[in-house]
Structure 1
């Protein structure tokens, strides 16, 4: 490829600045290895850049979803391992390509540029090197086990927490090596004092004094540098683990199947917040204390060399500290568990009360909420006080034992000096080593209360991470970029988690592409549940939901919902602007200004947008509290149609609107929904002109199905039952 061709290729890129070249490169490599996937599945829920593009830092996570492994390397272009090709080359910022082969003899490379599709292009290595950033990504397929391998017992999969800690084992290895040096340096000061008192002072050897002083100063400088390096390594490992673990937790929360969602939001949030105690425990103080603990034996051995009798108080002190700490374990565990449960309950009360503050005030429920809060707070305070008291007692007993052991060492040492079995310098050195030997034991004992809080939190988080996800990494989804809109509910039954009876019982319905159907029925008859199942928010207990003849469990959930526009009965908005809320969700990068303006017009938001100086930047407040109920519904309608889906699910879309707004919405929806499959849940007869078929439900079953005129007549005559008003 010549420079002119490269300039032309760059110009074509400028016309499409939002192209995600890194994602397209990953798709190219995946297809080269026979892994069929789609862009939506690879980046769903991942943190992308401001332009909605994949970044090198999260490339490996996207590759995992494609059944691949990825590793970023820094090397020259000519040093790439040809046996690991194809590989992704990172070019100038935002640019990438796939190198298929390198021909060093001819000085060329076969390259696939994302904007040219799957076509290979031969490029001069000099030209490619000029654009190469120095980083490449090797992408290789993971070995896939099939059902036959399940007959052989295999080790349980890697733990989400400890696997991340193990990734930093090299840093922790350096920390251990640094600790060895630091603890060896710790011997220098006692030996320095011993030699000063036993050799320098009696002999007035000032030359030896200065030699020893220079030596100990050098050791102290090395000790300072080693401590700083060790601390920075521990903090670096902890920060790396923190980022990955926090990302894994948030990814789990976002991908959690709704059946596994905890019943209390506040308690759920409290469980997630308990990760703070885990984060604190893996910090520098804990790691340093644990790493220093084995060196207690070294210091005890040195004291025994100085004076065998002097080590007896130290051994007794270690045993006393450990026995007392172990005796407190059971109580610390129980109190930590109780404290976390009470904290979760109190947090649930707080979240529920704040989120429903208007309801609390209107019902004059402040007293009940205050009473519940104060009782939980008082119990938590008592539990925390007991936990703190036991933790403090362990620390205090350890300090008392350490000081008592020091006194005993001095007493024994005095008798040894009198008997001529110990020098004065030896006694001072042994005393200094006593403090150094028992300090790690005391620190480890003090960490026990914090350990139980962290262990309890980690246990709760383990339960969360074990819950089923919508998009498990080992499941392959089909790619359906286009949906015609045929929907079939095949003998569908469903029961909500914890419910005593089915919400749906053997429902069978078929909707043709472009058909408009209204679901009528009493409150709780299963109309909304049917829509939730079609969205893939829940899995049916029995039966299946089919779209275009394919079970929706084969769809990637994100791609499925890309084809469905949903207006929920209870509209929830996010803090931000009108535009942010209309474009909320994945895939908003495909929306242009025409799509946005069309959605605003259909929803009836034109008047609000045009009349406000901020226009689409108008803030809706937290939860949309700065908008009326009808305006919130209009926003929900706008974001349901902005992506031009094939299927529309409308659940009471005009319940908060006045008659004029409803009529305007109805006329615009009638024109927009032409050729689209529409499922309307309503109790208003005024909206039934939108549909050409009515299905009446009761107690989770289909009671009637037919043309609107026939069904409405039967309803008026009481042959079916009152379903609309």
Structure 2
């Protein structure tokens, strides 16, 4: 089969040869008639050029509407369960139809203008033929031109006009194609703000990675008026476990994004082993990291391929995959799948529960043998049963790599962060407290102690409980329920009351 590009090229050259040859013959037959017809034919070229420029803009806008419609369709189908659960079917259909209606309206306008342009061009061409016959007849009556030559010239001129029209269409086809691919070309021409393939690489045999944030300030481009980090100073010691905690929106996850260099800080410096992160080869640095985030993305590939995602086949074995899965408490459920590790996960891992996807994510982090491990609220979106399984896998993983790599953990559970070597409390983008678990508990009215108190009471109003138990202010009812250390969620943190602080002190004295 002949490709469309080759067809257009061959047609272009055929019409070009016809144009040059026909013009030469016409000039040789009668230069007067040729110049007359050419002066009348030039508006055809102008009309075609004007229409092509207008149609190109119309097509670009039309393709934008079609892309928006397709985006709406993909969004609705991807979240089909939510759409059905909330009765949003008609809303999604209307959104799709609204964009397609705009595209259809532009198509109709283009079709009408194309027809009008063709009609106008035809009228001009017929006018040129009429003028040739009229002026040629006048010359024939004056015995300056033969009647047979007029007929031959008219035929040649019609062929020449056809070549001009076809040549114009050949030129317009790439223009229309370019307008269709304009948005694609814009994306292909984009250059990343953060170059990933330049910079110095860390030695492949580096044993430990230390991280330091020095006066880091950061805002997101879409929310420039909201300062996420305000002069953050943070040290993550090499080979140690550092925990970040604080209420939602205080900048914890932003720290991991800056460390992975998805963004650069507005001011300040991020140092890795004493070297500025912006001077390092980003891909090389990320290859030394393992990441477990709260939103795990799985690909439409096998379980084994998802665990080893981003790694070359020469860098791992199946035993490495099995070892990582066992450490992540995932080996048992994976082997129970129809094809074990060769089972396809489906698009976005829709065949797996949230807990299963998180355990695959933990295995993905472990199989890389990371020097720097980032744990970003890996259990925040799970139910109690899955949270327990994933938490067990996280505890096992942290115990396995402790001392062998640097760990930065963001979590709400006290059982996850209390064993960290250093705990850093963030508030509104600033570091407000830092120390070990025991040191932070000793800070009077400290935010960490406040979080612990709220977690120990499961978010309940202690004062209400004490009133129900008939106790006085500052005392603890003997019938009050003991504090549950297994249900600790710092997302419930608020300012602690005096009664809560008193009860917290009494409970810790009894530990």
Which of the five TM-score ranges fits, normalised by the shorter chain? 0.7 to 0.9
Q: 1 or 2 for the larger relative contact order (CA 8 Å, sep ≥6)?
A: 2
**Structure 2: distance between partners of 1:384 and 1:283:** 27
Question: Pairwise mapping of residues 47-446 of structure 1 onto structure 2 (< 5 A)?
Answer: 284-285=7-8, 288-289=11-12, 292-293=15-16, 296=19, 298-312=21-35, 314-328=37-51, 331-406=54-129, 408-409=131-132, 421-422=144-145, 426-427=149-150, 429-446=152-169
- Answer whether contact 2:15 2:167 (CA < 8 A) is retained: no
Structure 1 residue aligned with 2:279, among 554, 557, 564? 554
Aligned CA RMSD, in angstroms, stands at 3.2
Give per-residue Cα distances to partners, 1:252-296, cap 9 Å, x unaligned: xxxxxxxxxxxxxxxxxxxxxxxxxxxx8x664278438845873
Give per-residue Cα distances to partners, 1:523-549, cap 9 Å, x unaligned: 121111111111122112111221111
- Answer whether contact 2:290 2:370 (CA < 8 A) is retained: yes
- Answer whether contact 1:520 1:724 (CA < 8 A) is retained: no
Question: Pairwise mapping of residues 449-488 of structure 1 onto structure 2 (< 5 A)?
Answer: 451=175, 454-455=178-179, 457-458=181-182, 461-462=185-186, 465-468=189-192, 470-471=194-195, 475-483=198-206, 484-488=208-212
* Deviation, structure 1 residue 396: 3.9
Structure whose CA Rg is larger: 2
* Deviation, structure 1 residue 634: 0.9
User: Who is 1:672 aligned against?
Assistant: 400
Q: Judging changes above 3 Å, is the alpha-carbon distance between structure 1 residues 544 and 687 closer, same or farther for their aligned structure 2 residues?
A: same
Give per-residue Cα distances to partners, 1:563-587, cap 9 Å, x unaligned: 1001121111111110111111144
Q: Judging changes above 3 Å, is the alpha-carbon distance between structure 1 residues 516 and 606 closer, same or farther for their aligned structure 2 residues?
A: same
**Is 2:234 the counterpart of 1:509?**
yes
* Deviation, structure 1 residue 559: 0.9
User: Who is 1:706 aligned against?
Assistant: 435
The number of residue pairs the alignment matches comes to 447
Q: Judging changes above 3 Å, is the alpha-carbon distance between structure 1 residues 401 and 719 closer, same or farther for their aligned structure 2 residues?
A: closer
Give per-residue Cα distances to partners, 1:592-621, cap 9 Å, x unaligned: 223211111111111112222401011111
- Answer whether contact 2:245 2:252 (CA < 8 A) is retained: yes
**Structure 1: distance between partners of 2:372 and 2:283:** 14
User: Who is 2:269 aligned against?
Assistant: 544
**Structure 1: distance between partners of 2:35 and 2:373:** 81
- Residue 450 of structure 2 aligns to a residue whose secondary structure is coil
- Structure 1 residues 383-392 or 501-510, which shifts more? 383-392
TM-score of the pair, normalised by structure 2: 0.78
User: Who is 1:685 aligned against?
Assistant: 414
- Structure 1 residues 389-398 or 407-416, which shifts more? 407-416
- Answer whether contact 1:322 1:445 (CA < 8 A) is retained: yes
Q: Judging changes above 3 Å, is the alpha-carbon distance between structure 1 residues 440 and 286 closer, same or farther for their aligned structure 2 residues?
A: farther
User: Who is 1:632 aligned against?
Assistant: 357
User: Who is 2:259 aligned against?
Assistant: 534
**Is 2:366 the counterpart of 1:646?**
no
- Answer whether contact 1:487 1:548 (CA < 8 A) is retained: yes
* Deviation, structure 1 residue 399: 4.0
**Structure 1: distance between partners of 2:491 and 2:187:** 44
TM-score of the pair, normalised by structure 1: 0.56
**Structure 1: distance between partners of 2:214 and 2:136:** 88
User: Who is 1:128 aligned against?
Assistant: none
User: Who is 2:293 aligned against?
Assistant: 568
Structure 2 residue aligned with 1:493, among 212, 217, 220? 217
User: Who is 1:661 aligned against?
Assistant: 389
User: Who is 1:103 aligned against?
Assistant: none
- Residue 718 of structure 1 aligns to a residue whose secondary structure is helix
Give per-residue Cα distances to partners, 1:640-693, cap 9 Å, x unaligned: 111101111011223325254135314421332222111111112232255232
- Residue 633 of structure 1 aligns to a residue whose secondary structure is helix
Q: Unaligned 5+ residue runs, structure 1?
A: 1-230, 236-279
Q: Judging changes above 3 Å, is the alpha-carbon distance between structure 1 residues 608 and 356 closer, same or farther for their aligned structure 2 residues?
A: same
Q: Judging changes above 3 Å, is the alpha-carbon distance between structure 1 residues 303 and 521 closer, same or farther for their aligned structure 2 residues?
A: same
**Structure 1: distance between partners of 2:426 and 2:305:** 36
**Structure 2: distance between partners of 1:659 and 1:418:** 102
Give per-residue Cα distances to partners, 1:37-91, cap 9 Å, x unaligned: xxxxxxxxxxxxxxxxxxxxxxxxxxxxxxxxxxxxxxxxxxxxxxxxxxxxxxx
**Structure 2: distance between partners of 1:557 and 1:628:** 32
